[in-house]
């Protein structure tokens, strides 16, 4: 693997290649594997700057794999000196924080130069524990670079999940960061050289094939959700517990404050709903030629925005921008900024809502969609990325073009004003998640992939060939019925 990337710190000298075969398990009877998530700490608080879906994915997959019999070590970069170096989540699953660069928060786009230190720290940890992981599952492109470096020196099986694909992301941002070319090159290298890529939706697989490379192996295994935690309870009970009005029409946003999440589209759509009249055709003087009244009683509208932020960081700035928009559009009395909410209380918010809106400009998977649906809440989402896969239009919610304020307003209005249909959506949404997106199902599928890769590595059979007959075929996953 040649990356043509000059690291600022040299990587530890290659170790002699290991003989083929597995090292003796550190925990008798359990095969140790490593999950690497450079910036998404699996033990971190979720819902703040750069702590979102990737953290949840790695943590949940790790814990579920441990339940299936693996010894799971999850590696991330240490961002606070007083954070514990090792967090034990369960008997066979732990987070290990490696020192790579300053023990401080560093934005993703400035993190790459510390990855050689991350590789060295990983190798030092392995040497100290006397462990050699025969399989490493990396998350996000910088961890992919780490995995590719390790693969040069040892006989590891490398599995990678993108979480975000640069070639798509850079289409949606006005300014490409300086690191963009390096990222795009590494994203191609990993697709062509990893033993298998895990795409979280058929849409992501298509994207990788059309924008990144035709070479390499891809297996589609979706993200999941904790269906024991995210399930519906009576709406009235959830509202009472949260102090929300029983007759309010509650529109919910859950997620990070990031311009790519498109929260301003949602705020503008709510402002249209509050005006009460949809005006698609304007005259030359700006007057409304074809007014279409919304069905919703505008005084009942309530917008609830859930997500954490730090005032001096990028998410704090985005929150300020959204708050200013809410003020400017006269929605302040009908909007509540709740702040960060943990997964213990989030089911209450999802259940209390009449509709959950995901207005992202780009969304590789979008865990919030399946969390909301698991709680029986219909979703109105942008017709992009993984949301096209999880949300079934007219069955579990509605998909609309990203940034289209009128389309969002109309879709929200349809769900808020058709009680019987909304009830059907609620039921179908929760069935779809239960049948297709449980973490235990996702982990079983990953576990199957790992086992086959490890078996192949012993028998020299080469790259993993996905076989839809043997593994669940997500394209054929059941729709809500």
Question: Can you tell me whether residue 199 is helix, strand or coil?
Answer: strand
Stretch touching ligand UDP by CB under 6 A, among 53-61, 134-142, 282-290, 420-428 = 53-61
Binding region for ligand UDP (CB under 6 A) out of 23-31, 68-76, 360-368, 467-475 = 360-368
Q: Which of 42, 53, 116, 216 binds ligand UDP (CB under 6 A)?
A: 53
DSSP codes joined into one string, 247-311: T-EEEEEES---GGG-HHHHHHHHHHHHH-EEE--B-TTS-BSSEEE-SS-GGGEEEEEE----T
Nearer to ligand UDP, 52 or 202 (CB): 52
User: From the CB of 135, what's the least distance to ligand UDP, in Å?
Assistant: 24
What is the C-alpha to C-alpha distance for residues 380 and 366, in angstroms, rounded to an integer? 12
CB 11 within 8 A of CB 49: no
Strands 196-199 and 301-306: unpaired
Q: Mark the segment that binds ligand UDP (CB under 6 A) among 19-27, 47-55, 454-462, 463-471.
A: 47-55
Q: Residue 463 CB, nearest distance to ligand UDP (Å)? A: 29
* Residue 17 Cβ vs ligand UDP, minimum distance, rounded to whole Å: 37
Find the binder of ligand UDP among 67, 340, 403, 451 (CB under 6 A): 340
Please identify which residue in the block is written with the tokens 């040649």: 2
Dihedral pair phi/psi, residue 76, rounded to 5°: -145, 175
349: which 2 tokens? Answer: 């918010």
Q: Which is nearer to ligand UDP, 192 or 323 (CB)?
A: 323
Question: Which one of residues 368, 372, 381, 392 is an interface residue with ligand UDP (CB under 6 A)?
Answer: 368
Nearer to ligand UDP, 273 or 356 (CB): 356
Count the neighbouring beta carbons within 10 Å of the beta carbon of residue 420.
7
C-alpha 55/C-alpha 270 separation (Å) is 30
- The least CB distance from residue 339 to ligand UDP, in Å, is 7
Least separation in angstroms between CB 244 and ligand UDP: 16
Instruction: Tell me: does residue 365 bind ligand UDP (CB under 6 A).
Output: yes
Q: Which of residues 105-144 bind ligand UDP (CB under 6 A)?
A: none
Dihedral, 470, 471, 477, 481 alpha carbons, nearest 10: 70
* By the rule CB under 6 A, 341 interacts with ligand UDP: yes
Q: Examine residue 305 and tell whether it contacts ligand UDP (CB under 6 A).
A: no
Residue 307 binds to ligand UDP (criterion: CB under 6 A): yes
Q: Which is nearer to ligand UDP, 315 or 354 (CB)?
A: 315
Q: Which of residues 212-241 bind ligand UDP (CB under 6 A)?
A: none
CA distance 190 to 29: 31
**Please, which of residues 244-273 interact with ligand UDP by CB under 6 A?**
254-256
Binding residues for ligand UDP, how many (CB under 6 A)?
21
Instruction: Please report, as residue ranges, which positions from 145 to 184 form the binding site for ligand UDP (by CB under 6 A).
Output: none
Long-range contact pairs involving 22-26 (C-beta distance under 8 Å, separation at least 24): 22/134, 22/454, 22/458, 23/131, 23/132, 23/134, 25/71, 26/71, 26/129, 26/130, 26/131
The residue (of 116 and 262) whose beta carbon lies closer to ligand UDP is 262
DSSP alpha helices (H): ranges in 13-114? 53-67
By C-alpha distance, which of 106, 133, 132 is closest to 117? 106
> Which position among 343, 403, 424, 451 is part of the footprint of ligand UDP (CB under 6 A)?
343
Q: Is 111 helix (H, G, I), strand (E, B) or coil?
A: coil
Dihedral of CA 69/70/76/80: which sign? positive
Q: Which helix (H) or strand (E) holds 326?
A: helix 314-328
Integer-rounded Cα radius of gyration of the chain:
23
Q: Is residue 385 part of the contact set for ligand UDP (CB under 6 A)?
A: no
Tell me 48's DSSP state. Answer: B
Query: Binding segment for ligand UDP among 210-218, 296-304, 363-371, 406-414 (CB under 6 A)?
Result: 363-371
Q: How far is the CB of 370 from ligand UDP (least distance, A)?
A: 9
Q: For residues 346 and 368, is the Cβ–Cβ distance under 8 A?
A: no
Residue nearest to ligand UDP (CB): 52
- Out of 32, 34, 56, 431, the residue judged to bind ligand UDP by CB under 6 A: 56
Q: Which of 35, 367, 374, 449 binds ligand UDP (CB under 6 A)?
A: 367
Q: How far is the CB of 417 from ligand UDP (least distance, A)?
A: 27
Q: Which residues contribute to the site for ligand UDP (CB under 6 A)?
A: 46-47, 52-54, 56, 254-256, 306-308, 340-341, 343, 346, 365-368, 371
């Amino acid at each position: 693997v040649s990356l043509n990337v000059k690291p600022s710190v040299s990587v530890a000298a290659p170790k002699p290649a290991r003989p083929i075969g597995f090292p003796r398990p550190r925990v008798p009877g359990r095969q140790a594997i490593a999950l690497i998530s450079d910036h998404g700490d699996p033990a971190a608080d979720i819902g703040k700057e750069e702590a979102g879906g990737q953290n949840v994915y790695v943590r949940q997959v790790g814990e579920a794999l441990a339940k299936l019999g693996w010894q799971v070590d999850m590696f991330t970069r240490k961002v606070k000196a007083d954070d514990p170096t090792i967090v034990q989540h369960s008997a066979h699953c732990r987070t290990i924080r490696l020192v790579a660069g300053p023990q401080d928060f560093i934005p993703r786009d400035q993190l790459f130069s510390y990855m050689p230190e991350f590789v060295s720290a990983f190798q030092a940890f392995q040497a100290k524990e006397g462990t050699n992981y025969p399989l490493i599952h990396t998350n996000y492109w910088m961890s992919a670079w780490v995995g590719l470096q390790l693969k040069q020196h040892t006989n590891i099986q490398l599995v990678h999940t993108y979480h975000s694909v640069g070639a798509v992301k850079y289409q949606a941002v006005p300014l490409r960061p300086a690191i963009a070319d390096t990222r795009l090159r590494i994203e191609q290298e990993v697709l062509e050289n990893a033993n298998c890529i895990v795409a979280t939706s058929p849409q992501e697989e298509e994207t990788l094939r059309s924008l990144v490379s035709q070479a390499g192996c891809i297996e589609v295994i979706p993200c999941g959700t904790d269906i024991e935690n995210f399930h519906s309870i009576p709406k009235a009970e959830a509202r009472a517990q949260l102090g929300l009005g029983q007759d309010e029409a509650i529109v919910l946003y859950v997620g990070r404050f990031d311009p790519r999440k498109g929260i301003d589209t949602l705020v503008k759509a709510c402002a249209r709903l509050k005006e009460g009249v949809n005006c698609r055709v304007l005259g030359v003087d700006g007057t409304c030629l074809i007014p279409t009244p919304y069905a919703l009683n505008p005084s009942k509208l309530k917008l609830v925005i859930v997500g954490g932020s730090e005032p001096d960081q990028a998410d704090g700035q985005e929150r300020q921008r959204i708050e200013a928009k809410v003020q400017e559009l006269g929605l302040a009395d009908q909007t509540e900024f709740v702040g960060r909410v943990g997964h213990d209380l989030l089911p209450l918010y999802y259940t209390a809502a009449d509709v959950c809106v995901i207005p992202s400009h780009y969304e590789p998977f979008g865990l919030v969609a399946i969390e909301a649906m698991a709680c029986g809440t219909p979703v109105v989402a942008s017709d992009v990325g993984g949301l096209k896969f999880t949300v079934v239009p007219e069955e579990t919610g509605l998909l609309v073009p990203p940034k289209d304020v009128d389309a969002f307003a109309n879709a929200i209005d349809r769900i808020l004003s058709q009680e019987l249909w909304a009830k059907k959506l609620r039921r179908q949404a929760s069935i779809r998640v239960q049948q297709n997106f449980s973490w235990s199902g996702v982990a079983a599928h990953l576990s199957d992939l790992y086992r086959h890769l490890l078996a192949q590595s012993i028998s020299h059979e080469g790259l993993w060939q996905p076989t839809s007959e043997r593994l669940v075929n997500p394209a054929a996953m059941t729709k809500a019925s």
